[in-house]
Amino acid sequence: MDSTKKFILLVDDDEDDRIFFQEALDDLGNPVLFKSVEHGLDAITKLENEVLPTAIFLDLNMPVLDGHECLKQIRSNTVYDDVKIIIYSTSYNPEVAEILKKDGANHYIRKPSNYSILKNTISTALEILSSNLQYQNFLITT
């Protein structure tokens, strides 16, 4: 893999959300390697067997292994310290977000309800990943 190319892993049980995410990336014309899996256990397996992603966009409510448990498992292994984890969920609860932040999430995106906002939000997230500066807000919005 080209070392300058970002590798994005989306962990989401909703097939439509995975498709829209990939289409938004394609529409942005941003050269990233993109892979997706359906739940946290698949994500853990992929991490153990493939090149580490630049960032994981992690849904919370999934079968088999939910996003919060997946986050805790990933952050329990120092091999993954440099992987950015962006929670990517339809819901947003400030108290839950604070717990996720303490457990190692780098950012939080509330899934947008429209495609244009989705593209803008992903674009903002990619800009944050490209910069060496720490984004001040945990919640990424457009």
Alpha-carbon separation of residue 20 from 95, 102, 135 (angstroms): 28, 29, 25
Label residue 136 by pLDDT band (50, 70, 90).
low
pLDDT band at 133, cuts 50/70/90? low
Whether 92 contacts 139, CB under 8 Å: yes
Percent of the chain with pLDDT over 90: 75
Confidence of residue 30 (pLDDT cuts 50, 70, 90): confident
What is the structure's pLDDT at 59?
96
Distance separating alpha carbons of residues 101 and 108, to the nearest angstrom: 9
pLDDT over 70 at 1, yes or no? no
Average predicted confidence (pLDDT) for the chain: 90
d(CA 3, CA 5): 6
Q: Is the pLDDT of residue 115 over 70?
A: yes
53 three-state secondary structure: coil
Report pLDDT digits (tens) over 58-71: 999 999 999 999 99
Residue 135 has pLDDT above 60, yes or no: no
* pLDDT tens-digit series, residues 49-104: 988 999 999 999 999 999 999 999 999 999 999 999 999 999 899 999 999 999 99
- Look at residue 132 in the predicted model and tell me its pLDDT: 59
Higher pLDDT, 129 or 67: 67
Residue with tokens 């993954």: 80
